[in-house]
Structure 1
C-alpha cells in the first residue's frame, strides 16, 4: 500500500530535521567538552576523586564509582547504585571532567533524596523500551488489516511510540536538575575556583542541549507517524 513511501515521502523532512538537530547538539557538546577539557583545574583533582569527594560530602556512602570505556558515556544507575565515569572523565583533572563527574553525582543526590522525576523516569524506562520496539511492528500489522481492527492496531502502535517521547520529556527536568545540583556543589565545595565554575556550567549546558534535541527529534518522528497513519485511518 505504501511501499517505499512509508519511509521516503514528504513527511520524511521531519526525520531529517530531527537528525540535523541531534547531530548539531552532539557536535556542540563534543566541541565544548574538548575546549574545557584542555583547561586543567587548579586543584588538580581527577574526575574520579571529585566524584568520591562529592558523594562523601553529601553523606552518600552506598554508591560505588567505577571507570567505563568510551567517551562521554558517563552515567549513574539508580538500581545498582553505581556511578560510572568514562575514560575522558575518570582520570582527567580538567574543568570539563570535574563538571561531568559532578553532574553524575547530582543524579546520585537525586536518588538519595527521592527526587520524584528520577523515580518516574526509572518507572517509565521499561515501558518506553517496549513501546519503541513494538511501535513499528504494530503499525505495519495494522496496515495489513482492513477496517476498525487495523485502525485500532495502528493507534496502539502510535501510542507505543509516544511513550518514547514521554520518556524524553521526563528526562529533561532530571538532567537540568542534576546540573543545577552539580554547579551548587562545585561552587560551595571548593573543587573548582570561581573562575572555573562558569566553564563547567557551559559544559553542562551543552550536555543538556543533547537531551532537548533528543526530545525534539522524537516529537518530530511521532508527528510524522501521526500524519502518515492518521490519514490512513481516515481513509478507512
Structure 2
C-alpha cells in the first residue's frame, strides 16, 4: 500500500457515515480499555483483601474483637469483610433479642450475609455488561460501515466511463478499515469479558465458601448458648 493510503488518509477520504462509524468504534474501544484496566485493578485488589482478611479470620482471633476492628472502618468494607460484618452484626442483634430461638437467629444472620454477598457480586460485575455489548455489536457496526462504504464507492464508480482498479481500490480500502476497527474493538472486549467474568465467579465462590464456614461457626455458638 502506498503512502497516500495510510490509515489517517483513508479515514479522511471516507464518506461522512463511514467516518461516524469509525469514530463510534474508536470511542467504544477507548472506553472498553479504560473499563478493562479499572475492573482488573478492582478485582485484583478484592482478591488480595479477601486473602488478607481470611488469614486474619482463621488466625484464632476472637470474633467479637475482630468485629470491633472491622466496625471501626465500616464505611470502607468490601468482600469477605463486608459479609462478615453484616452477618456478625445481625447475629449479635438477634442473639440479644431472641437468644432462645437459635434457628431464627441463624436465619436472620444468613439472610444478611446473602444480601451482602449479592451486593458484592453486583459491584464486581460493574461495567462487564458493557464489554459484552461491545464484543457483540462492534463487528456488526464495522460491517455496516464497510457495506455502506463499498456501496458508496461503486455508486461513484458508475459515474465514470472507464473503471480501473486504481479508482475503486481506495474506496474499498476506506470501507474495510471500518471492519478492521470493529474487530479491533470487539476482540479485546470479548477476551477480557471472559477473563474478568471468570475472576468474578472465582471471587463469588470464595465469598460463598467463607459465608458457609462462618455460618457453621455462628451455628455452633448459637446452639451452644441456647443449651447453657
TM-score normalised by structure 1 residue count: 0.41
Question: Which structure shows the bigger proportion of residues in helix conformation?
Answer: 2
Larger radius of gyration: 2
Question: Which structure shows the bigger proportion of residues in strand conformation?
Answer: 1
Greater relative contact order structure (CA < 8 Å, 6+ sep): 2
